[in-house]
Amino acid sequence: MRPRRWTTRKSVRVYKTPIFDLHRHQRTHPERPPHDFFVLDVPDWVNIVPLTSKDEVIMVRQFRHGIEGFTLEIPGGMIDPDDRHPRAAARREMVEETGYDSDKITPLGRVHPNPAIQGNYCHSFLARDVYQTAKPNLDSNEETQVVNVPLEKIGGLIASGKITHALVIVAFSFLEVCGPPRERRRMRSG
């Protein structure tokens, strides 16, 4: 059976937060009774793999409020209205969170973080030959520790559960498919 589209009859924003809004959509279907579906209205996100000329990934350790614990991640965040392009947002987040910069930034791919309850994309990028340009400049509620991780160790950190953020794993998965700068299979040896 080919699934059919639901049509929105009425939408209400039922709650507003600084980083997403919650909407209730009343939707109808050719053969089913009307139903309410709840969706987060959230801007597109970005993340970026900052890679040095020595094949080290510049990562950040930070406290995450969803899990009430610490994660090891690549830089990332929301696209701001001032960002001209997802790439610009990714570069901004990288510089803010790590103090590293690069002008060799290429797209890796984009995914739906959660198509069931969010409409947004997360766009992933690779920054090659990153160099330290400043100290991290963080939002008032952000606090990160910059950690240099050899690219060849990433596979092991994912397999052992040290890197747990789905969108970070997606970015590394894209990187592996696209091929890191020097040696395509190097990440797998970790």
Q: Which residues bind a copy of itself (CB under 8 A)?
A: 1-6, 8, 14-15, 17-20, 22, 24-25, 27, 29, 32, 35, 37-40, 61-71, 109-119, 122, 140-141, 143-145, 155, 158-159, 161, 164-167, 169-170, 173, 177, 188
Distance CA 8, CA 25 (A): 6
Nearer to a copy of itself, 119 or 150 (CB): 119
Identify which of 75, 72, 70 has the alpha carbon closest to the alpha carbon of residue 49. Answer: 75
75 with 165: CB under 8 angstroms? no
Nearer to a copy of itself, 2 or 84 (CB): 2
Nearer to a copy of itself, 50 or 76 (CB): 76
142 with 136: CB under 8 angstroms? no
3-state secondary structure at position 116: coil
Give min distance, CB of 81 to a copy of itself, in A.
20
Phi and psi dihedrals of 157, rounded to 5?
A: -70, -30
Give min distance, CB of 97 to a copy of itself, in A.
11
The residues that bridge with 62 in the sheet, in sequence order, are: 71, 144
Nearer to a copy of itself, 54 or 61 (CB): 61
Q: Which residue has the tokens 């920054």?
A: 127
Give min distance, CB of 9 to a copy of itself, in A.
13
Give min distance, CB of 169 to a copy of itself, in A.
5
Distance CA 167, CA 76 (A): 10
3-state secondary structure at position 72: strand
Give min distance, CB of 91 to a copy of itself, in A.
20
Nearer to a copy of itself, 61 or 182 (CB): 61
